[in-house]
Amino acid sequence: MKKHEKSVGSHAGLLLLALLTSIMTLLSACGQNPTSGDLPSQAVSAIYVLDSAGLLKAIRHDDGKLLWQQRIATQGYGYSGVLTVANQVVYVVQSGEMSSTVTALDSTHGSFLWHTQVPLVKDSSGMLRQETVKVVGNILVAEIDGGQPNLPRELYALRTDTRALLWETTESDSCCRGLTVVSRDTISLVTNHHLATFQTSTVDTFQTSTGRRLWQYRIDGPHEVILGMTALSGTIYVSTPSIVWNGVRVQSQTGKVLALRSSNGTTVWTRTSPLLSYIVGAASGVLIVQSDMGLEALRSSDGTQLWQYKEAGNVHHWFSYITVVNTTVFVAGNSGFSYADIGSILQALQLSNGARLWVYRQTTGVITLIGASSGTLYCLLKSDFQYKIAALRISDSKQLWSYSLDNAVNYDDAVIAS
């Protein structure tokens, strides 16, 4: 696709504002994870959700019945924390002003296993911190933001079997980061510096066991920001729209998708894309990319476009989560490009050609795709200040059960299917 330049009237001005809004929504203005929302299809036994009041619940996958619940003491001015599940253990990670807390619970019964604190180098001075957490084997890696724009972010790793702190590092002051697991001993970190002026984005890859920085890739363009990253079969994929804004109009707008070797960060291939270029996820040798208010599938080995899907009419959603089951890709889209609530959709598309099989609509609010098993999709539905977990049949989107939550779920990382 060709690069394009155009002066901007009202439509492009609104498009820029929409993009800025979408960036800030995705990254939560310096804290949310810019890595992509690809979710594994796996055998699911329960859905775990941590609400804003600190109540952790396990909901049975087949009928939506409550298995157990535990109260988690909140840290950091009422912030309840984020979840990850690995090796039949639920990990709750929270961060306050001076420390990060990890609580481990048995995923089957909800019993407390252990609790530890990791001191943080910088005091957030009363400001809320946010986290991104991954478990790789028996190592938990946590990325903690500084809580304030001028404070650096911290990264630490501890062993889940001994609770020993393996390493801790403070990264330079930056706006937004996000973790992606590349292999059993490699993890990559996205950095977006100075988001408001679209300057400087890097990908850093660390050895999980030691914290040693293996390599860094710096985005060439002076006005590019990484809006998506995922890893598949030894390759890291990043997407970077580039916008030049002179205060009055958009002067130029281009974007690209890059494939990087996970071993050394060298470029495998580059594909020029429209302005809105965001990797939603990857599976089965295919990248799913938000592109020009639609979706396109790229072959992961060389970036060749396989198919394109565009919504009918003038309503366009921002697609942010996918999962693939067998030959079908399921993708959730929300009101990313509109100040009005245009509702949300969950679509089933044929992986081979992008043909739509069915669509599930919610007239208001947000659909968050949590995960999938062989015959069921699991979603968090938010609408009119109501929150519920829903199970949908994969073949036709029929709702099998739902579980209403008493309190809000403020962060997507606070709900997981495992």
Q: CA–CA separation, 114 vs 13, rounded Å? A: 52
CATH 2.40.10.480, domain 72-173, yes or no: yes
**Local confidence pLDDT in tens for the 418 residues of the chain:** 332 333 233 343 444 444 544 444 444 433 344 445 555 556 788 999 988 888 899 999 999 999 999 998 876 555 567 889 999 999 999 887 778 889 999 999 999 999 999 888 766 666 677 778 889 889 999 888 776 666 677 889 999 999 999 999 887 655 555 678 888 788 887 776 655 555 567 888 999 999 999 999 987 666 677 778 888 888 999 888 766 555 544 555 677 899 999 999 999 999 987 666 788 888 889 999 887 668 889 999 999 999 998 887 666 777 878 888 888 999 988 875 555 677 888 999 999 999 999 999 988 888 988 888 879 999 999 887 789 999 999 999 999 999 999 888 866 777 888 8
Pairing state between β 305-310 and 294-299: antiparallel
**Element holding 166 (H helix, E strand):** strand 165-170
- Helix runs in 248-375, H state only: none
User: Reading across the β-sheet that carries 46-50, which strands appear in turn?
Assistant: 66-71, 55-60, 46-50, 415-417
Do residues 319 and 332 lie in contact, with contact meaning Cβ atoms separated by under 8 Å?
Answer: yes
Q: How far is CA 47 from CA 209, 353, 394, in A?
A: 29, 31, 17
Residue corresponding to tokens 């660390």: 206
**Element holding 26 (H helix, E strand):** helix 10-27
Write phi, then psi, for 176 (nearest 5 degrees): -135, 140
Check residue 21 and report its DSSP letter: H
Instruction: List strand residue ranges (DSSP E) for 193-276, in order.
Output: 201-207, 213-218, 228-232, 235-245, 250-261, 267-273
Q: CA–CA separation, 322 vs 36, rounded Å? A: 9
For the chain, how many helices (H) and strands (E)? 1, 33
**Cα angle at 342 between 6 and 290, to 5 degrees?**
50
Where are the domain boundaries for CATH 2.40.10.480 in the chain? 31-65+313-418, 72-173
The pTM assigned to this predicted structure is: 0.84
Do residues 154 and 170 lie in contact, with contact meaning Cβ atoms separated by under 8 Å?
Answer: yes
Which CATH number, 3.40.50.300, 3.40.50.1820, 3.30.420.40, 2.40.10.480, labels domain 31-65+313-418?
2.40.10.480
